[in-house]
Amino acid sequence: MFTYQGKTALITGASSGIGEAFVRALAGRGMHVMLVARSEEKLRALAAEMSGQHEVRAEVIAADLGQEQAVQLIQQEVERRGLTIDLLVNNAGFGTYGLFETISPEREHQEVMVNIAAMVALTHAFVPPMVARGQGAVINLSSVAGFQPLPYMAVYAATKAFVLSFSEALSVEYRRHGVRVLALCPGVTDTAFLKEASAEPLIVAPKRTPEQAVATGLRALERGRSVVIDGVGNAMLPQVVRLFPRALIAQIAGQVMRPRGAGMSGQAAATQKR
């Protein structure tokens, strides 16, 4: 059983969507929360609400994880404030959608920085102290997209495959040290991500809520799992993918995800979980 009461969680991408749902759920369980995102005004309003509602310590660090020095800044601020991070939630990330050659290389570089490099750097920053204490946990946000190639969201799906593999490997490394590592893999979730990506018309699967995804993640964390997929229907996807050649799966995904209509030629990019 994972203990929440009186411990401290750091949540990236905490200003909306799944990140905000994590803040609310963890504060409701008696955890102090450190909120990280670019949107300082939103973070401060949420932190004040959590402090007043749950009588927990709720603090804010405004940082853009697409910038090289962001993780160093976060680590320094945590140390300066005398905080011990017991649960790290690497939730920040975003996706790009469209024809690969039409998407800005700079935007996709930033996507890799946020979805992969910042996650790895934050894990490096906060897991060693957990190992020294013999307890702690990390939840990394992957996606059902991480189980297959996804044409027209190629970089996004590849980053989520990285998150999935990284998390499974670290779960084995640190289990004997008392540190849990979980990859939470949501499917289509009712956040601003798909709308901002201009990809929403392509998705016909039922949406899950951020609160459902967070509840799934916290149950899995408490049970010591290394991977969990949110939603019964979503959980079937990896099983189906295993039954067919990856080339065929990629072809089918390409048909589903192909940009449709005017203005869908690829320059769309979405921010998610900031």
pTM: 0.90
CA–CA separation, 46 and 51 (whole Å): 9
Name, of 146-150, 203-207, 241-245, the range with top average pLDDT: 146-150
Nearest to 153 by CA among 202, 206, 118, 192: 202
- Output the pLDDT for position 195: 57
Q: Provide the residue type at 66 as one letter.
A: G
Which residues are tagged catalytic? 156
CA atoms within 13 A on the CB side of 156: 28
Query: Domain spans of the chain?
Result: 8-272
pLDDT digits (tens, 9 = 90+) for 203-229: 556 789 999 999 999 999 999 999 999
The CA R_g of the chain, rounded to the nearest whole Å, is 18
Mean pLDDT score of the chain: 91
Which pLDDT belongs to residue 31? 98
**What's the first-to-final CA gap in the chain, in angstroms?**
29
CA 196 from chain centre, in angstroms, equals 17
Position 63 pLDDT exceeds 60: yes
For the chain, give the number of residues.
274
With 0-12 / 13-18 / 19 or more C-beta atoms within 10 angstroms meaning exposed / middle / buried, residue 232 is exposed
Rounded to whole angstroms, the Cα distance separating 262 from 274 reads: 28
Sign, CA torsion 182/186/190/191: positive
Sign of CA dihedral 162, 167, 169, 170: positive
CATH number of 8-272: 3.40.50.720
pLDDT digits (tens, 9 = 90+) for 76-91: 999 999 999 999 999 9
pLDDT digits (tens, 9 = 90+) for 3-56: 999 999 999 999 999 999 999 999 999 999 999 999 999 999 999 999 999 999
CA 240, 241, 244, 248 torsion-angle sign: positive
